């Protein structure tokens, strides 16, 4: 098998594994959510909850990955971490939008990405309560269920519907609110959904014109970033920099540059 064919076969296998892992976790989370769902621990603050189901979902996913691809590495939100020997690393958010899930709101997802030598090859965001699975393979486009996903063409900046999110630490939230205060009068409106992965996918399918946020972790954006890019969005951080925890911006060409520049001027990249 040629190197190219082997690479294509690897991407196809990784997509199949990611879809099945996300489906299993999503079904478990949707059907198994207890009425008395409790908080198992806290992370950065008392507001940032870790539910019992979050931990159980990650165990389900990592167990499945260990069966199907035991040589791969794993990076998971709830502590799963292993180097692996294959060069492939799975980046997992077992529930992106944990607070939404805790409160019984529908905007939560299972986010699974596969990287090879640092490059994201496959991204899957499964949103059970929406009945939608967003998927992308590097160089092969993005899909929502079986339909191609494509960003909306860039509107005038004043007509843009922009998604964002807020951190859990008080100091960061205060700064993020100040950025939003300056941005709101300049755009159509702002939405705060509570799942970064879904927000990125909403850009991909045209439900948002753009999205930005500070303070994301790799598991928050790894899959959604690929879905957005394969749907035609540009993604990045500060001008000239890649999307990162410092700042994440996603929008179609023509809107991305304006939003990114304004966010940089507003200091959205620092607390």
> Is 132 labeled as ligand-binding?
no
> Is 202 labeled as ligand-binding?
no
Contact 161, 208 (CB under 8 A): yes
CA-CA-CA-CA torsion for 217, 16, 87, 237, nearest 10 degrees?
Answer: -30
> Is 96 labeled as ligand-binding?
yes
- Give the sheet arrangement for strand 88-96, strand by strand: 81-82, 73-76, 88-96, 109-116, 119-127, 132-137, 142-144, 147-148
Contact 122, 110 (CB under 8 A): no
Contact 75, 58 (CB under 8 A): no
The closest alpha carbon to 218, from 130, 70, 113, 109, belongs to: 113
> Is 77 labeled as ligand-binding?
yes
Angstrom distance (rounded) from CA 257 to CA 241: 12
Residue that has been written with the tokens 């492939």 in this structure: 88
The closest alpha carbon to 117, from 94, 138, 96, 136, belongs to: 138
> Is 119 labeled as ligand-binding?
no
From start to end of the chain, where are the E strands?
39-42, 49-51, 73-76, 81-82, 88-96, 109-116, 119-127, 132-137, 142-144, 147-148, 161-164, 189-192, 210-213, 234-236, 248-251
What residues are designated binding site?
77, 93, 95-96, 220
What residues are designated binding site for Mg(2+)?
77, 93, 95-96, 220
């Amino acid at each position: 098998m040629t190197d190219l064919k082997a690479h294509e076969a690897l991407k196809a296998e990784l997509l199949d594994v990611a879809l099945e892992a996300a489906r299993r976790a999503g079904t478990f989370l949707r059907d198994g959510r207890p009425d008395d769902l409790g908080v198992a621990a806290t992370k950065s603050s008392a507001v940032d909850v870790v539910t019992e189901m979050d931990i159980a979902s990650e165990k389900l996913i990592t167990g499945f990955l260990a069966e199907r691809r035991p040589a791969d590495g794993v990076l998971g939100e709830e502590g799963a971490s292993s180097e692996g020997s294959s060069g492939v690393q799975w980046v997992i958010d077992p529930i992106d939008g944990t607070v939404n899930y805790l409160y019984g709101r529908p905007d939560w997802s299972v986010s699974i990405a596969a990287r090879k030598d640092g490059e994201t090859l496959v991204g899957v965001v499964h949103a059970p309560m929406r009945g939608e699975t967003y998927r992308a393979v590097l160089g092969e486009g993005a899909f929502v269920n079986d339909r191609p996903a494509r960003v909306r063409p860039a509107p005038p900046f004043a007509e843009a519907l922009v998604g964002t999110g807020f951190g859990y630490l008080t100091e960061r939230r205060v700064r993020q609110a100040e950025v939003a205060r300056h941005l709101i009068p300049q755009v159509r409106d702002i939405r705060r959904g509570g799942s970064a992965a879904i927000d990125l996918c909403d850009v991909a399918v045209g439900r948002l014109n753009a999205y930005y946020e500070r303070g994301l972790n790799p598991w928050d954006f790894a899959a959604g970033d690929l879905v957005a890019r394969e749907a035609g969005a540009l993604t990045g951080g500060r001008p000239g920099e890649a999307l990162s925890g410092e700042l994440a911006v996603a929008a179609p060409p023509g809107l991305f540059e304006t939003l990114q520049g304004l966010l940089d001027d507003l200091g959205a990249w620092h607390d």
